[in-house]
Every structure is written in structure tokens, then in C-alpha cells.
Structure 1
């Protein structure tokens, strides 16, 4: 099994490779996630910034052409409590954050805390 490299330099390189509007939104999401859960580990996987706890994927920042998704790996369990989440798969749900619009920090923090409270 491959173990992802987690140095801060790779996370910094992730942001360096984003367009300015993508970078601003992604950095705002990263800052808000880490304010809600400073113990999360960060790694660049699949071209996205992934946050893990005890080796388990919790959430990721996934950039697109017009928006960034804050993707929750077990978001289906959060969807009844947070109707803002989008998606229809078995587990993953996401919060869409449009570029050049402020991130709803209170909502992001509530989602992160709720995701961490889910049973493993």
C-alpha cells in the first residue's frame, strides 16, 4: 500500500498550481476547516487537498471551472441535517462554493464538526 506524502511543501504546491480565483476560495475553505478541526491531517491525493483523521478520509477540497466543492466522504449521513449538501451517490456529498463569493464559514465549521462526530 502506498502512503501519501504529507509535507507542507506539497500542500503549498497544490495552492501554487491553482488559478487566483480558485486559490482564494480553496484557501478560505482550508482555513475554515482547520479552524473547526485543527487536528486534521492534510495530503494531496488525486489532485485534491484531502483531510484525514486517524488515516480515514473525512473531506476534500475539489476545484472545478466555476466553483470548488467541499466534499464529505460520508456526506450521505450528513445530508438529512444539512440540506445544503448536494449529490446522490452512496456516500459522498459536497457543498458547492462559487468563486468570488464568500465562504459560509459557520456552515463549513458545522459540517466539519458533524462529519467528525460520525461513527467510523
Structure 2
């Protein structure tokens, strides 16, 4: 798989982490469309579902996975952060964060929500 341009431009440590997050989403939703919107890598089905972006600086630098309709997604492990009307996000500080319990379930639930309408 090619590296989306916004991820390619990230600092090396964040680039690998962002690409791993992006690839995990593509594994779970192989038919999602890749886009670049607002300068970020976006994956879409019927609507935009996810954006993968770098956030923070220095020791607070992380990859942020925006889940556009995250407020409606099942999240029993409470991985999604945010209080907005619909957007939620998950922060990834290192590769082991990608293997936390519930990550794949949240991603799959967001994809299913998009498919349902």
C-alpha cells in the first residue's frame, strides 16, 4: 500500500505510527476510499469515517485518529475521547497503543455504522 501524502510528510516516528493506524483501518475496511481533506489522510465509506493526523509537539506528540461519528459508536473499553456533538478521537503515543483491547472493535463499529446509513 502506498503512503498517503499527509502521512508521508510527518516526522519519522509519527509517520510509522500513523501509517500503522491507517493500515489497520484499511485491513478492517478494505473497500474504504482514501482521500486527503483538510490536509489529513481521510478514509470514507458513504461518508467520511476516519481522519489520521499528527498532533502535539515534543513529548506530547501523538497520532490522533478522528472518528467522525464516534459519539454513535459502541465503545465498551472507553477508548474514544471527546465531548462534541458527534466527533470522537483516539490518541496513539506508541505502537503498543494500536494493540489495546477494543481498538479493532471501535474501528469496525464505525465502519458498520457508515454502512448502515
Same fold (TM over 0.5): yes
Output the TM-score relative to the length of structure 1.
0.80
In 2, Cα distance between the equivalents of 1:90 and 1:63?
22
Q: What's 2:110 paired with? A: 115
Instruction: Note the alpha carbon deviations across 1:27-46, whole angstroms, 9 max, x for none.
Output: 11011111111111111111
Deviation at 1:60, TM superposition (A): 0.9
CA RMSD between the two structures: 2.0
2:23 to 18, 31, 49: 31
Higher helix share: 2
TM-score for the superposition, normalised by structure 2? 0.82
Deviations 1:55-79, CA, capped at 9 Å, x for gaps:
x101111211211111111100125
Q: CA deviation at 1:105?
A: 6.6
Q: Structure 2: 5+ residue runs without aligned partners? A: none
Q: Structure 2 CA distance, aligned partners of 1:19 and 1:31?
A: 18
2:69 is aligned to: 74
Give the aligned partner of residue 19 of structure 1. 11
Superposition deviation, residue 117 in structure 1: 1.8
Q: 1:117 to 1:59 in 2, by over 3 A?
A: same
Conserved? CA contact 2:33–2:45, under 8 Å: yes
Q: Return the alpha-carbon distance in structure 1 between the equivalents of residues 74 and 105 of structure 2.
A: 13
In 2, the alpha carbon distance for the partners of 1:40 and 1:52 equals 5
Q: Which structure 1 segments of 5+ residues have no match?
A: 1-7
